[in-house]
């Protein structure tokens, strides 16, 4: 009975999905402008390619460039059979879309409750590669279906009974096979140093399996893990060829017994894969994917190759040290399928003068995961969000760096439930200034600060500073409970470093049409005032103290001597750790953590059982990077008009000369002109109030 109801329910879901596709299809036909397929179909297979350049004009990578276009008769039949058997067994029998494949994909997605399969035919894959983005949505799928039907009809009208062969030819010559190999002839020479017509059965099966996920599946000489992955995929292709009648079991078994012999010639590698993927996504988002497919473009980017090498080196060294502390064997010794369990890291750096992204590391290994943790991942920032909360408080006028608090455990009611935030290792400051509470990253006081101004004020300011991730106006926002991205924090801290001017990070400086030399796009920085410079500098000055005397002091211990400011962040569950900091020239954020919380993955040193924090895990990566690229910043941080600097006792805010037996050295803070200095009466009032409450 349960099975019958489940089956009926799945059928209803299929019908509903097909109705959605149909309705969206009608919507697009009547109101939306689909990407236009060129009338000259021969141009589809002749891609001039898009060149991506670094900031000094060095060519980084070329995408969608046709190397050698070959006819079907010049390709090993086994390769063609492998492609059809694996990707679209009904290719010669449908009109661009396979309802059977779509139904199978819908069934798979329903059983897993995720969009894991797309049910795309070869024709759909062609239009997806040429005209559409990679997003997995019904909207994109409808576009894909409509364009595939249109493309099939156009090929049928132009080429008659040969239209399927011409489509297959377009697919094999236009597909990406990894390692900057575009088209089957180029792929055959890159991987096996031979023509596509001379491929062995195993080689043909290997290449036929690559377009599905070229970066993850492509084999590299000497890399046993990648070779094993590619071999497994090739065996799957061979099994599909047997199932579809293209191959006997004996022939497949003989091919499986063979060994891949890869070419050892130097390959054209993508030196900055995460950055290139970001450029592709940005161009496709703003101007459509067809620009990448057909445009003869030169895209000039903000990437500085020296900065990028330094960023990659810092991350590589940092995560290797984390592997050791976490008890993982060396990453290079781990099999491919185990590498996703290792700690990850991300780094993004921008130029404070113009917002140009100078370096970006989206993860430790794009061959394991395409996921860009610098731009796409959202994780809790922990205490690295506190500067935003304190800046909102200073801006409100209800709190100054001199404001006094009692840093101690307190209970709050949030949505009718008790909540008692605690400090790291349950260590409390007692009587303290707001300034010292931020420098020492006191959670208990930070919540009091936000309680005084209201959490919505913090959300409003964060959005003005450039945080694009959705934020919840709750008391715990003081402790970074809302998830943000690395680029969010880079933008927000950059706004503080720029004395209240927000500069949106950019990856592209200009785009030029190679055919006409016409400049299609040029980036012009547009600094936007979002915070009074006086309040921004008040927080900036405190963040300098964080690096010199607070939770970010690892920067100094590790030898960075230039002007610097920043803040650490560590989540309570030990899954994420951050350091975001800046010099007068650059701002950079580093995140470390695990992609998944499954398996009780935590940032805890296996040997000491101590928590790996933003100060001990992320700050060293930042320091290594900044020491390499900006060891001697141009100048220092200077106070804007309307600011006075004052030396105070960190706990009372009083003139240090009035303290008989100081327990810590004084700190220097920045205040708006006219701020009333703290007095002994202020201190007595706060202490008396606390004693009254306790009584």
Q: Is the pLDDT of residue 326 over 90?
A: yes
Pairing of strands 297-301, 50-53: parallel
Question: What local confidence, expressed as pLDDT, does residue 414 receive?
Answer: 85
Q: How far apart are CA 126 and CA 291, in angstroms?
A: 15
Indicate the DSSP class of residue 472.
-
Question: What local confidence, expressed as pLDDT, does residue 164 receive?
Answer: 94
Query: Structural domain boundaries of the chain?
Result: 66-270, 382-498+528-636
Note the pTM of the prediction, 2 decimals.
Answer: 0.79
Is 418 strand, coil or helix? strand
pLDDT tens track for 230-259: 999 999 999 999 999 999 999 999 999 999
Reported as a pLDDT band with limits 50, 70 and 90, residue 522 is very high
List the CATH code of the domain at 66-270. Answer: 1.10.3810.10
* Mean predicted confidence (pLDDT) in 13-24: 50
Question: What local confidence, expressed as pLDDT, does residue 138 receive?
Answer: 75
Q: Is the pLDDT of residue 515 over 80?
A: no
Question: What local confidence, expressed as pLDDT, does residue 284 receive?
Answer: 83
- CATH architecture of the domain 382-498+528-636 equals 3-Layer(aba) Sandwich (3.40)
Q: How far apart are CA 398 and CA 679, in angstroms?
A: 18
Q: How far apart are CA 539 and CA 534, in angstroms?
A: 9
Phi, psi of 535 (to 5 degrees): -70, -35
Reported as a pLDDT band with limits 50, 70 and 90, residue 365 is confident
Q: Is the pLDDT of residue 46 over 70?
A: no
Question: What local confidence, expressed as pLDDT, does residue 117 receive?
Answer: 44
Is 445 strand, coil or helix? helix
Q: Is the pLDDT of residue 270 over 80?
A: no
Q: Is the pLDDT of residue 459 over 90?
A: yes
Sign of CA dihedral 640, 641, 647, 652: negative
Close Cβ partners of 475 (under 8 Å, ≥ 6 residues apart): 412, 414, 419, 447, 450, 451, 455
Question: What local confidence, expressed as pLDDT, does residue 129 receive?
Answer: 79
SS3 string, 323-356, reads HHHHCCCCHHHCCHHHHHHCCEEEEEEEECCCCE
Nearest in space to 504 (alpha carbons), one of 350, 361, 628: 350
Long-range CB contacts (within 8 A, 24+) of 628-632: 628/310, 628/313, 628/314, 629/306, 629/307, 629/310, 629/349, 629/358, 629/359, 629/586, 630/562, 630/583, 630/585, 630/586, 631/560, 631/561, 631/562, 632/562
Q: How far apart are CA 367 and CA 75, in angstroms?
A: 28
Reported as a pLDDT band with limits 50, 70 and 90, residue 600 is confident
* Mean predicted confidence (pLDDT) in 406-429: 91
For residue 196, give the H/E element and its range: none
What is the average pLDDT score of the chain? Answer: 88
In the block, residue with structure tokens 């792929």: 187
Question: What local confidence, expressed as pLDDT, does residue 114 receive?
Answer: 45
Contact 209, 236 (CB under 8 A): yes
Question: What local confidence, expressed as pLDDT, does residue 52 receive?
Answer: 94
Q: Is the pLDDT of residue 21 over 80?
A: no
Q: How far apart are CA 375 and CA 577, in angstroms?
A: 16
Q: 264-273, 383-392, 483-492, 678-687: lowest mean pLDDT where?
A: 264-273
Q: How many CA atoms lie within 13 A of 114 on its CB side?
A: 2
Close Cβ partners of 635 (under 8 Å, ≥ 6 residues apart): 563, 584
pLDDT tens track for 116-134: 445 689 999 988 877 776 6
Q: Is the pLDDT of residue 590 over 90?
A: yes
Long-range CB contacts (within 8 A, 24+) of 141-147: 141/21, 142/21, 142/24, 142/25, 142/28, 143/28, 143/34, 143/35, 144/120, 145/21, 145/25, 145/96, 145/97, 146/25, 146/28, 146/29, 146/34, 147/34, 147/35, 147/37
Q: Is the pLDDT of residue 66 over 60?
A: no
Phi, psi of 537 (to 5 degrees): -70, -30
Q: How far apart are CA 420 and CA 450, in angstroms?
A: 14
Both tokens of residue 657? 């000369």
Both tokens of residue 353? 């003068």
Question: What local confidence, expressed as pLDDT, does residue 5 receive?
Answer: 39
Close Cβ partners of 254 (under 8 Å, ≥ 6 residues apart): 201
Q: Is the pLDDT of residue 139 over 50?
A: yes
């Amino acid at each position: 009975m349960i099975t019958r109801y489940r089956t009926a329910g799945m059928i209803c879901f299929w019908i509903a999905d097909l109705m959605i596709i149909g309705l969206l299809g009608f919507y697009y036909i009547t109101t939306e402008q689909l990407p236009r397929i060129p009338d000259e179909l021969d141009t589809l297979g002749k891609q001039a390619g898009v060149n991506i350049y670094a900031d000094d004009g060095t060519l980084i990578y070329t995408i969608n460039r046709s190397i050698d276009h070959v006819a079907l008769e010049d390709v090993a039949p086994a390769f063609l059979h492998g492609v059809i058997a694996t990707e679209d067994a009904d290719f010669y029998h449908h009109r661009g879309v396979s309802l059977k494949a779509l139904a199978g994909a819908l069934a798979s997605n329903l059983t897993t409750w995720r969009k894991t399969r797309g049910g795309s035919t070869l024709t759909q894959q062609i239009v997806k590669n040429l005209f559409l983005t990679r997003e997995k949505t019904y909207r994109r799928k409808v576009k894909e279906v409509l364009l595939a039907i249109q493309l099939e009809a156009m090929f049928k009208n132009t080429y008659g009974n040969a239209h399927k062969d011409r489509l297959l030819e377009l697919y094999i010559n236009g597909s990406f096979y990894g390692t900057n190999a575009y088209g089957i002839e180029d792929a055959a020479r890159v991987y096996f140093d031979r023509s596509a017509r001379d491929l062995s059965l195993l080689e043909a099966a290997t290449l036929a399996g690559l377009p599905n996920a070229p970066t993850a599946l492509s084999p590299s000489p000497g890399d046993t893990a990648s070779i094993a992955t590619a071999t497994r995929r090739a065996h799957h292709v061979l099994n599909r060829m047997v199932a579809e009648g293209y191959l006997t079991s004996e022939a497949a078994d003989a091919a499986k017994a063979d060994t891949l012999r890869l070419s050892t010639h130097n390959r054209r590698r993508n030196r900055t894969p995460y950055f290139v993927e970001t450029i592709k996504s940005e161009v496709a988002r703003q101007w459509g994917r067809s620009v990448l497919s057909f445009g003869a473009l030169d895209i000039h980017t903000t990437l500085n190759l020296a900065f990028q090498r330094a960023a990659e080196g810092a991350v590589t060294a940092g995560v290797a040290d984390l592997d050791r502390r976490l008890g993982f064997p060396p990453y290079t010794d781990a099999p491919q399928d185990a590498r996703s369990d290792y700690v990850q890291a991300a780094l993004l750096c921008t130029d404070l003068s113009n917002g140009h992204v100078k370096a970006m590391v989206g993860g430790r290994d794009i061959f394991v995961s395409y996921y860009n943790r610098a731009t796409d991942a959202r994780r809790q920032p922990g205490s690295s969000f506190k500067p935003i909360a304190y800046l909102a408080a200073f801006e409100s006028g209800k709190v100054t760096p001199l404001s006094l608090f009692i840093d101690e455990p307190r209970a709050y009611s949030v949505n009718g439930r008790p909540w008692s935030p605690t400090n790291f290792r349950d260590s409390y400051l007692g009587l303290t200034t707001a300034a010292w509470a931020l420098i020492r990253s006191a959670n208990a006081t930070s919540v009091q600060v936000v309680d005084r101004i209201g959490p919505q004020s913090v959300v409003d300011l964060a959005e003005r500073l450039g945080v694009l991730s959705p934020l919840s106006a709750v008391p715990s926002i003081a402790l970074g409970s809302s998830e943000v991205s690395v680029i969010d924090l880079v933008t927000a801290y950059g706004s503080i470093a720029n004395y209240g001017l927000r500069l949106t990070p950019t990856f592209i400086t200009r785009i030029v049409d190679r055919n006409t030399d016409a400049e299609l796009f040029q980036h012009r920085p547009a600094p936007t005032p979002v915070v009074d410079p006086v309040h921004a500098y008040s927080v900036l000055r405190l963040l300098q103290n964080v690096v010199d005397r607070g939770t970010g002091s690892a920067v100094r211990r590790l030898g960075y001597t230039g002007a610097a400011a920043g803040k650490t962040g560590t989540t309570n569950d030990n899954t994420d750790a951050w350091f975001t900091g800046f010099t007068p020239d650059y701002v950079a954020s580093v995140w470390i953590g695990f992609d998944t919380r499954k398996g009780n993955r935590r940032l805890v040193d296996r040997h000491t059982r101590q928590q790996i924090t933003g100060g001990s895990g992320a700050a060293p990566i930042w320091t290594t990077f900044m020491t390499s690229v900006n060891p001697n910043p141009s100048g220092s941080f200077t106070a804007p008009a309307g600011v006075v600097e004052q030396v105070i006792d960190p706990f009372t805010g009083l003139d240090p000369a009035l303290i008989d037996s100081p327990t810590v050295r004084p700190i220097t803070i920045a205040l708006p002109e006219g701020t009333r200095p703290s007095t002994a009466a202020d201190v007595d009032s706060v202490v008396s109030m606390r004693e009254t409450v306790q009584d």
